[in-house]
Chains A and B, each alone.
Chain A
Amino acid sequence: MPLEYKYLLYNHSKSINEAKYNNIDYVFDIKNPYATLTNAAHKTCYFVFSLHVISNLISLFQTICLMILSYGSIPKHLSFIMDGNRRFAKSINQPLKKGHELGSLTLLQILFFAKTIGVNHLSVYAFSIENFNRSKNEVDILMALLVEKLSELSQKCTNSTVADNIIFKGIQIKIVGDLSYLNDNMNQKIKEIESLTALKEKSLDVFTLYICCPYTSRNEIYHAVKKNVNLKLSDNYDYEISENSLENQMFLSHYTNNCELIIRTSGARRYSDYLMWQTHMNSSFIFSKTLWPDYGFHHFFIDLFKWGFYQSLCIWKKTNISRKQLSKWSIKNEFLAKKESCVSYFLSNTTVNRMVHPTLRVSRIFIKRNFKKSIDDLPKPPPAISITQRN
């Protein structure tokens, strides 16, 4: 048969939604009606999606959609900044730990999606070095959760008696980062997990999950610099320091050197010290406004679909078009431009200038341009507060 029907009929929706349903407690709080309502809504949603028939239909639909997507362009290395677990927990009136647990379930789902569409490397920002600033209790909870979930996942990947083994088969887990921050116990467990899931045969099409745990990008660059200095000193004159040699000493670079697509959830538009070296040249960013536990199938599908669309346009532009076609297309494009301008005619520069002109005049009536005023005579600006240097 052309399809592995087990794959197609695998019901990923049921187990995850059930787990999510069991993780949330319904809390009635009259003081906080909004959170109570969202809590109830989430709980009912998870319940409905974990019903037998509905979950089967949904997972079949989702799998087919992902298969369609896999025929387009797919990033080799996809990366997630999983932000918003605690905000989500707060919004549904639950303790913070539940937020992290729901987040880990979402990651499990994303893992399946990414594997299905054919991503080779999936990396996630699980724990930053800065996160050690949090309360010790929370750090301990996070670490324990991480180890628990990872050992669970490694069982799924290797043990063929577990039910989910059909889809999680052949996933490699790597923990990336400055492991000296962790205690020996953690390090040992991490090593076990890594060696358990490592594939013996080397092939190009493997799926690897990178958990960036105590990781910051500055730390990574610094380590690369230090290692290069060490190598230079030990190798005397043979070792040459260059961009490539630095790149080869990055934590992630044992496996992959660049990252095509970064998705950050929860709406903040900044890096927060993640993969800066790998992505500052020509990678795409998607800043999604949903919180991480809410990041479901449709967000994933739309984000990757859009990226694949633009990427394939790029590829076609590079390869497919001979000179003859190019001239043909450019002629067509002029025609197209005219057609498109029908809509945007009213928005063209000249029209806007005509429209803006009166406002310019009006504004000049109200605020007279006083050339005698120098820069010092202007009203005081708001205080310049730096968000980067304060921290």
Chain B
Amino acid sequence: MNSTKEFKVDIKTENGDSNSLSVSSRSNTPVSDLDDGNKESVCEVKNLNDSNGFKNLADEHLSAAFTSPRVTSLTRDRPPENLRPDIGAAVPSFSNMSYIAKNTISKKTKKSTNSICEDSFDYETDVDGTRKISRYIFLEIHRILRAIFDVILKCILAFFYCFFAILRFFEYNYNSMKLKFYSLIYNPSNSPQLIRSDVSSLSKIPKILAAIVDYKSEEEVGGGVLGLMENSSDIVAWSLSAGIKHLYLYDHDGLLKNDVGLLRRIIYNNLRKYFGPAKVPKFAVRIPHTNQIFYNLPPTPISLEYVEKADKKISIEVILLSKVDGRETIVDLTKSMAELCKQGLLDEKDITQDLVDKELRKLVGEEPDLLLYFGPNLDLQGFPPWHIRLTELFWEHDNNDVSYTVFIRGLKEYAGSKVNVGK
């Protein structure tokens, strides 16, 4: 058990090292300029297989040891508005009002000096040594009054909460009704022509689009890794038909990165549905963290010839991000900068904001123009913090699936947006 644990840690640090060493050397090669991407992709697929094999091993042995410290998208703290719909708390309604009232009233009041009902009296302070009975009685009365006051205010709060729960119930239904209505209006029906005609009325579209996709547990509709990949492939097809050239796909745990071969197959399959089997558009999948680029389908023994003929001119670049591209990348960058400074290759004074910006652009990518979140309420889940400076954020309230409605309404919102930095 211990040995495997160390092994994993080693691999992690190796990854980090390779990443950090490449900070200064890695050049941002445009996708189309690569000479032999095929060979690269072949050997990288092998690498991936290795890591997958290791993963299985690790899962068998270490699942218990590693689940507790590791934060996954299912166990992490969410912002309170993004409740999971397990307990009847997600959509508060008429029947859990007793639950709300009970909990509100039974909540302990904290003694904070900021609140108005300050308990500033003390038994010892005011009396010099002896306690007078009148003082004692006064304090007791004070306490009782305070308790009564607390209970009354809590009851009012509980009433407010219950009232809001009812409102929330109607709001939820109204929102979901609105979304269904929109889904009637905007319907992609798997055809790029319709999407293009929807988009062509807009004044501008984003150069780089980012989308955060949620992992749902396997029991739900569109859940599991397969559901995640199918959803992302839908987004790829939509943005391809809308004419967007660069697409970030972010998932918290990096599940999309884990099995790129499968993701590429699913994307290919979905694009076949949209564009017909004869002329499937070319796409590239890039993983900035490991600096890999994959083109189109993973090669199989039968189709090798066909793949080699394929040209590098691609219609869309899909970039996969996860939590490691966020804070961890900045930490790695800091480490490598410190290392370079120590070796004398980099002067301390040369570390400027522009340099950090340049390096982070190389390591992760450009800043997206529009970020879509396909969940009930905005939840960034650790999206790279450097890269959301001026990004437009878009989500639909109480929406819980990856739908075309959110996509097209996000684009419309973007077309109307105006940014003037500072001015």
Stretch from B1-9, B34-42, B50-58, B271-279 that touches the partner: B271-279
- How many Å lie between the Cα of A69 and that of B240 in the bound state? 48
Bound Cα distance from A233 to B328, whole angstroms: 20
A344 & B331 in contact (Cβ 8 Å cutoff): no
Q: Would you call A217 an interface residue if the criterion is a C-beta within 8 Å of the partner chain's C-beta atoms?
A: yes
From 148 to 168 in chain B, residues with beta carbon under 8 angstroms from any chain A beta carbon are 149-150, 153-154, 156-157, 160-161, 164-165, 168
What 1/0 mask marks residues of chain B from 86 to 127 whose CB sits below 8 Å from any chain A CB?
111101111110011001100101001111111000000000
The segment from B128-136, B187-195, B291-299, B302-310 that touches chain A is B187-195
Find the A residue at minimum CB distance from B91. Answer: A340
Complex contacts, A229 vs chain B, CB 8 Å = 334, 337-338, 341, 348, 351
Q: Is the CB of B104 within 8 A of A221?
A: no
Distance (whole angstroms) from the CB of A278 to the closest CB of chain B = 9
Q: Is A163 an interface residue (CB 8 A)?
A: no
| B62 adjacent to chain A (CB < 8 Å) | no
In the bound complex, do residue A130 and residue B422 qualify as a contact, i.e. CB atoms below 8 Å apart?
yes
B interface with A by C-beta (< 8 Å): 76-81, 83, 86-89, 91-96, 99-100, 103-104, 107, 109, 112-118, 142, 145-146, 149-150, 153-154, 156-157, 160-161, 164-165, 168-169, 173, 176-177, 180, 183-184, 187, 189-194, 196-197, 199-200, 202-208, 240-245, 275-279, 281, 315, 326-328, 330-331, 333-335, 337-338, 341-342, 348, 351-353, 356-357, 366-369, 377-386, 388-394, 413, 415, 417, 419, 421-423
Q: How many whole Å from B161's CB to the nearest CB in chain A? A: 6
* Contact yes or no, B145 A2, CB < 8 A: yes
Q: Out of A71, A246, A339, A363, which one reaches B330, CB within 8 Å?
A: A246
| Distance, CA A135 to CA B277, complexed state (A) | 58
The answer to whether B187 touches A71 (Cβ under 8 A) is: no
A320 at the interface (CB under 8 A from B): yes
Task: Point out the residues of chain A lying under 8 angstroms from B367, CB to CB.
Answer: 388-389
Distance in angstroms between the alpha carbons of A328 and B381 in the assembled complex: 31
Cα A228 to Cα B335 in complex, Å, equals: 9
Q: Does A33 contact B (CB under 8 A)?
A: no
Q: Is the CB of A232 within 8 A of B338?
A: yes
Q: Is the CB of B117 within 8 A of A364?
A: no
- Given A284-B79, A374-B281: 19 more A-B contacts, CB < 8 Å: A2-B145, A4-B118, A70-B115, A72-B107, A131-B422, A170-B113, A225-B334, A229-B334, A229-B348, A271-B389, A280-B385, A285-B378, A336-B88, A356-B183, A359-B184, A360-B189, A369-B191, A372-B279, A386-B369
In the assembled complex, the Cα of A217 lies from the Cα of B92 at a distance in Å of 37
Given A134-B423, A313-B83, A382-B202, check contact A3 B243 (CB 8 Å). no
